[in-house]
C-alpha cells in the first residue's frame, strides 16, 4: 500500500508546475483526477518537446501525467459545474494554476469551495503571487528564471545571461506545492479542517537561490561574479568548476586548494596557503588548473584525485550515463504502454518506499477517458 492511497486529488492544473505536483502524489498512491475541457483537454497536451507526440498528446504531457484519470467538464456549463462540485464534496485536495480571479469567476474559489467541503486542501500555483504589477503576467519557466535573477548564475564571466536548460522553476514549484499539501493533510487529521496552500513560480525560484540571495543581502549587496571559464557556482572559490582534460572534461567540487595541489603534484598551487586567496585569486588558480589538467586523460586524473579523497567526477553525455553500470543499477527508467499501442520510455518516481522502487502501473489518460466511470461511481 502506497502512503497516499485513499487520498483523492482533483487536478485543474495545466502545463508543468501543478501537474508535476499531481504526478508525485499519484506516484505515491493518491487518486489524481484531471478535470479537463471537453475535446482538447488541458493545454499541456499541445506543448511539445521537439514536436514529439504520442496517442494525440505531447510526449511531455505523457511524462507529467502518468497514473492519473481524466474527467471532461465544461466549467462554464451549469450542469457540468454542478457535477464537479459533487466531486469536490468527496475529494481531499484540489490543485489549480489559473490566473488570480479565474476560479472566483467560475465559482470555485477557496471561500466557496470551503463551504462545499470544509476538509478540502485547496492548493494553488500562480506565476508571481496574487497581488502586484505582475499578477497577470504569464507564469512561464523561462520568464521566471530571467526575472528572478537565476539566469545570471550559469555560464562563464563574459557570457550572456544563461537560463538552465530544464524546467527548474516549474519542478521546484511543484515540489513546494506537494510539501504544502502534505503538511496540510497532516494538520487536517488533528483539526478536521482543510487549508489553502499557495505557491508561486517566482517565490519558489527565489527560494531555490536562497544561498545566493542570502550572500547578496549579507555581503554589501555585491553581485556574485561568474568565473572566467568553467565555474558552476559564482559564489564559491577555486577549485570549484569544470575543466578540459586531454580527452574530455572533469569537474572538481569545493575543497582545499593545497590538498589538491599536493594530490596533483602541482607546485604552482602550493603557494595559496591562505583559504581567503581561494576566493580572491580564484581566476589565477583556475587558470593554473586549466593549463595543468589538459595534459592527461580524465580517467587518469580521476584515479589520482579519488584516491586522495578529492571530490571530482567525469562529465557524461546522456548516452554515456545510460550505458554506465552506475546508472543501470538504479533501474531508473520504465516503459508505459499507451492505448494506441505506442510506448513511452521515461523515468520512474525517484522515491523508494521500504526499499522498493516506485513504478507506474498506468500511462497518462486520453481526454475524458474516465468521465463515464467517474459519473457512475460518484453518482454525479
* Burial of 15 from C-beta contacts in 10 A (0-12 / 13-18 / 19+): buried
Q: What is the pLDDT of residues 134-143, one digit of tens each?
A: 988 889 998 9
- The β-bridge relationship of strands 8-11 and 93-96 is parallel
Mean residue pLDDT across the chain: 93
* pLDDT for res 48: 79
pLDDT for the residue 219: 85
CA dihedral 91, 171, 19, 88 (to 10 degrees): 20
Cis peptide bond upstream of 163, omega within 30: no
pLDDT for the residue 367: 96
Q: Which residues of the chain have pLDDT under 50?
A: none
Beta-sheet pairing, 241-244 with 53-54: unpaired
Cβ count within 10 A of residue 211: 12
b vs e for 254-275, b when ≥16 Cβ sit within 10 Å of the residue's Cβ?
A: ebebbebbebbebeebeebeee
Number of H helices, E strands in the chain: 16, 15
**What's the chain's length in residues?**
380
Tens-place pLDDT, residues 219-250: 888 887 888 887 777 888 999 999 999 999 99
| pLDDT tens-digit series, residues 42-98 | 999 998 778 889 999 999 999 999 999 999 999 999 999 999 999 999 999 999 999
According to DSSP H, which parts of the chain are helical?
Answer: 17-27, 59-64, 78-90, 102-106, 110-116, 141-147, 168-191, 201-208, 210-218, 257-264, 277-280, 282-293, 298-307, 318-323, 325-328, 371-377
Question: In the prediction, which pLDDT does 333 show?
Answer: 92
Amino acid at each position: 500500500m502506497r502512503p497516499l492511497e485513499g487520498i483523492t486529488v482533483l487536478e485543474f492544473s495545466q502545463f508543468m508546475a501543478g501537474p508535476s505536483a499531481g504526478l508525485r502524489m499519484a506516484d505515491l498512491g493518491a487518486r489524481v483526477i484531471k478535470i479537463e475541457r471537453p475535446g482538447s483537454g488541458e493545454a499541456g497536451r499541445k506543448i511539445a518537446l521537439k514536436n514529439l507526440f504520442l496517442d494525440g498528446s505531447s510526449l511531455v504531457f505523457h511524462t507529467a501525467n502518468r497514473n492519473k484519470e481524466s474527467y471532461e467538464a465544461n466549467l462554464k456549463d451549469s450542469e457540468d459545474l454542478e457535477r464537479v462540485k459533487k466531486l469536490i464534496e468527496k475529494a481531499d485536495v484540489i490543485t489549480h494554476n489559473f490566473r488570480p480571479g479565474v476560479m472566483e469567476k467560475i465559482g470555485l474559489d477557496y471561500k466557496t469551495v470551503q463551504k462545499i467541503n470544509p476538509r478540502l486542501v485547496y492548493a494553488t500555483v500562480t506565476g508571481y503571487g496574487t497581488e502586484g504589477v505582475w499578477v497577470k503576467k504569464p507564469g512561464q519557466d523561462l520568464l521566471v528564471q530571467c526575472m528572478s535573477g537565476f539566469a545570471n548564475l550559469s555560464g562563464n564571466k563574459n557570457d550572456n545571461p544563461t537560463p538552465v536548460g530544464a524546467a527548474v522553476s516549474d519542478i521546484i514549484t511543484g515540489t513546494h506545492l506537494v510539501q504544502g499539501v502534505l503538511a496540510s493533510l497532516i494538520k487536517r487529521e488533528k483539526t478536521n479542517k482543510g487549508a489553502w496552500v499557495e505557491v508561486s513560480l517566482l517565490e519558489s525560484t527565489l527560494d531555490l537561490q536562497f544561498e545566493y540571495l542570502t550572500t547578496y543581502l549579507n555581503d554589501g549587496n555585491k553581485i556574485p561574479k561568474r568565473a572566467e571559464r568553467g565555474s558552476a557556482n559564482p559564489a564559491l572559490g577555486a577549485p570549484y568548476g569544470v575543466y578540459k582534460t586531454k580527452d574530455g572534461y572533469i569537474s572538481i567540487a569545493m575543497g582545499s586548494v593545497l590538498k589538491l595541489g599536493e594530490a596533483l603534484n602541482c607546485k604552482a598551487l602550493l603557494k595559496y596557503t591562505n583559504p581567503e586567496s581561494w576566493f580572491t585569486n580564484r581566476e589565477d588558480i583556475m587558470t593554473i588548473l586549466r593549463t595543468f589538467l589538459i595534459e592527461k586523460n580524465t580517467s587518469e586524473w580521476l584515479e589520482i584525485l579519488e584516491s586522495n579523497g578529492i571530490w571530482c567526477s567525469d562529465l557524461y553525455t546522456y548516452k554515456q550515463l545510460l550505458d554506465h553500470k552506475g546508472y543501470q543499477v538504479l533501474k531508473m527508467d520504465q516503459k508505459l504502454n499507451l492505448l494506441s499501442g505506442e510506448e513511452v520510455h521515461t523515468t520512474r518516481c525517484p522515491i523508494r518506499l521500504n526499499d522498493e522502487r516506485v513504478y507506474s502501473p498506468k500511462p497518462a489518460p486520453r481526454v475524458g477517458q474516465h468521465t463515464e466511470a467517474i459519473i457512475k461511481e460518484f453518482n454525479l
